[in-house]
Copies of this chain bind each other. A is one copy, B any other.
Amino acid sequence: MIADRQQQILQRLNQAGKVLATELAEELGVSEDTIRRDLNKMGQLNLLRRVHGGALPLQLDVPDYADRLEKKDPKKQKRANQAVSLLKPGQTIFINSGETCRYLALAIPKEMPLTIVTACPLVACELVHHHKAEVILLGGVLFKPALRCAGAIALDMVRRIRADICFMGICALHPEHGITAKYIEEAAMMRAMIEQSDQTIAMGGSDRLGLISNHEITPLKQLDALITDKDADPTMLKLIKAKNMAIILV
């Protein structure tokens, strides 16, 4: 019952761009108190942004800074915006390498105070104008196929950092085999980043689901959420959800 109502609230929120507590109470036939309790709970779960009077969708306050990445991919932008909505000011985050991660970097509000750690020089370059962010670049040997630093030095740096969230653009995600990477150096870096983070959020198109690459990074139970698109196969999603991952469809 409750889940149903919260689903309805989310639906209205995404449709209208905002919801008012009073309106919801009337339209859903429950008291305002109940609605407020719902909204508060959902706000804590990061399903929406609670404001005085009602609630707003999470991605509404993310301005569109993505004008520097040439070939704009709206799906990746959407995923990035959704990922950014999970961020809270003051957090420390890992950002992996890859195009998805560049979109993520661009989507981060310029005024948000954060500590951003990345092994990818391109991600670092995108963050030059984020004055409130401390950007930490993981050093070491540049691993060129993936354009990121890897190897002993980079791994050592990762292991000295503790982060709130690890954002990971994924190439291959399989319900049984977890996430996998093409190069072993990459896999080692990603595993280290996940281990050093309280929470890990995987991002990737629905075409990446069910794939297996060469080197295992980690099983799905180590991951907390997956941001993918609505084209994803429902059975696949069910299997992933069974591994205790939250699914966010954009």
Contacts and interface: CB of A to CB of B under 8 A. Distances in A.
Interface of A: 1-4, 7, 10-11, 14, 18, 20, 45-47, 49, 51-54, 56, 58, 60-63, 65-66, 68, 110-111, 121-122, 124-125, 127-129, 131-132, 134-142, 144, 147, 149, 153-154, 157
Q: Which of A47, A61, A128 has the most CB of B within 10 A?
A: A128
B136 A142 contact: yes
Contact of A7 (B1, B60, B66, B125): B60
Contacts of A127: 142
Given A60-B131, A61-B7, A139 B111 contact: no
B134 A3 contact: no
A149 B139 contact: yes
B2 A51 contact: yes
5 contacts: A121-B122, A134-B141, A134-B142, A136-B140, A137-B137
Contacts of A45: 111
A153 B139 contact: yes
A103 to B, nearest CB: 15
Contacts of A124: 121, 142
A61 B139 CA distance: 27
A45 B113 CA distance: 11
A125 B147 CA distance: 8
A137 B139 contact: yes
A196 B110 CA distance: 37
Given A4-B56, A51-B3, A136 B128 contact: no
Given A66-B68, A136-B140, A140-B137, A1 B14 contact: no
A154 to B, nearest CB: 7
Contacts of A141: 134-137
A2 B131 CA distance: 26
B131 A144 contact: yes
Contacts of A66: 68, 125, 128
Given A124-B142, A131-B144, 12 more contacts: A2-B51, A3-B56, A4-B18, A7-B61, A10-B63, A60-B129, A62-B129, A121-B122, A127-B142, A135-B141, A135-B142, A138-B139
Contacts of A46: 111, 132
A111 B1 contact: no
A147 B128 contact: yes
